[in-house]
């Protein structure tokens, strides 16, 4: 009786998908509005003067004109993005773009090859190597930052007691305080999740496609490039959104690896210093925060159709 009940029960993925489909549209629109209110308030406040922000909430911005305040005004954006030394947000945006784009492309390229190998290439120790790779997801980011910074700055050496000789495992690359150090760190932390996500998708592709390609004489690289990559665009785009948002919004890794090199600091670190000493320019934080928010929103809306397909792939089968 238990076996029959279990066999007749629908899988969890389709049940969740069916529940989401049953939610009325107006409920979803209410949730959208609620999620949008903070961003809208940030935009409104960024168009107000310092005195107006200190006097009343953003929902009373329409009264600024009666109180002698300018609204809307672009003076906050001019101060943030202008040539004046207010933290160098314009340069920080360029640094954030260079970090986020490269730190997104590298993990995708490496993880796609690795995921295909784990899914469709039979080699010795494949299962244990895959488990070991996924187990790296449990390594806390905060614990690894200082050892990585030491490796970037002075390399890694190990002394072998038997022969009393020091072996260089990682040479001194002098990457501390540079953007490449942030690239490598983000790549290392992103690869386990990327391989896990892409592997689950690629392993679910029809086996007949690969058998037909092998019969036609295609090798692994051609199968990967001609079949796997085009079919995996949704999941690749989904991971690209995750990785881009993570690297764009990152503060801790960038601050740790770059340190005091202000020329290479990303926008997230620069915005934190916009307020200046004693918070005299805290009114600039709204404009700076909204500027760095726009880019992730554009990326998400541009790739959202791939994002939905990549996340739901495999969860509604059966």
Write down the domain spans for the chain: 1-73, 74-315
Mean pLDDT over all residues of the chain?
82
Short-list 260, 256, 244, 257, CA closest to 292: 244
pLDDT of residue 16: 58
Question: Residue 311 — pLDDT band, cuts 50, 70, 90?
Answer: low
pLDDT of residue 277: 66
Spell out the residues 6+ positions from residue 317 whose beta carbon is closer than 8 angstroms to its own: 13, 204
Tens digit of pLDDT for each residue in 207-261?
A: 888 888 888 888 888 888 988 988 888 888 888 888 998 999 999 999 999 887 8
pTM: 0.79
Residue 183 has pLDDT above 90, yes or no: yes
Question: Residue 307 — pLDDT band, cuts 50, 70, 90?
Answer: low
Question: In the block, which residue shows the tokens 């495992």?
Answer: 169
Q: How far apart, in whole angstroms, are the C-alpha atoms of residue 172 and residue 155?
A: 4
Give the CATH number of domain 74-315; options: 2.40.50.140, 2.60.120.10, 1.10.3720.10, 3.30.540.10.
1.10.3720.10
275: tokens are 């307020």
Percentage of the chain beyond pLDDT 70 is: 86
Q: How many CB atoms lie within 10 A of CB 4?
A: 8
Residue 17 has pLDDT above 60, yes or no: no
Q: What's the whole-number mean pLDDT along residues 35-53?
A: 88
Q: What's the whole-number mean pLDDT along residues 46-69?
A: 85
Which range among 139-143, 165-169, 244-248, 293-297 has the greatest average pLDDT?
A: 244-248
């Amino acid at each position: 009786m238990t076996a029959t009940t279990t066999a007749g029960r629908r899988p969890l993925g389709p049940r969740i998908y069916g529940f989401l489909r049953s939610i009325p549209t107006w409920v979803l629109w209410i949730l959208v509005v609620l999620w949008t209110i903070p961003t809208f308030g940030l935009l409104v406040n960024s168009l107000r003067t310092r005195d107006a922000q200190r006097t009343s909430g953003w929902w009373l911005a329409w009264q600024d004109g009666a109180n002698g305040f300018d609204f809307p005004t672009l003076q906050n954006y001019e101060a943030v993005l202008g040539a004046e030394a207010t933290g160098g947000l314009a340069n920080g945006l360029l640094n954030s773009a260079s970090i986020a784009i490269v730190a997104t492309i590298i993990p995708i390229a490496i993880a796609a090859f690795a995921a295909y190998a784990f899914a469709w290439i039979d080699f010795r120790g494949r299962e244990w190597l895959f488990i070991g790779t996924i187990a790296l997801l449990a390594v806390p980011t905060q614990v690894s930052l200082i050892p990585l910074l030491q490796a970037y700055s002075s390399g890694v050496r190990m002394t072998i007691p038997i022969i009393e000789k020091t072996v260089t495992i990682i040479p001194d690359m002098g990457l501390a305080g540079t953007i490449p150090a942030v690239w490598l760190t983000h790549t290392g932390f992103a690869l386990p999740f990327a391989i896990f996500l892409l592997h689950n998708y690629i392993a679910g592709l029809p086996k007949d496609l690969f058998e037909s390609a092998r019969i036609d004489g295609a090798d692994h690289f051609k199968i990967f490039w001609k079949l796997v990559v085009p079919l995996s665009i949704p999941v690749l785009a989904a991971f690209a959104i995750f990785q881009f948002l993570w690297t764009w919004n990152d503060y801790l890794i960038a601050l740790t690896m770059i340190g005091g090199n202000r020329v290479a600091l990303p926008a997230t670190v620069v915005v934190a210093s916009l307020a200046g000493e004693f918070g005299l320019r805290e009114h600039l934080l709204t404009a700076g925060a909204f500027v760095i928010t726009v880019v992730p929103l554009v990326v998400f809306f541009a790739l959202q159709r791939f994002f939905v397909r990549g996340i739901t792939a495999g969860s509604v089968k059966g």
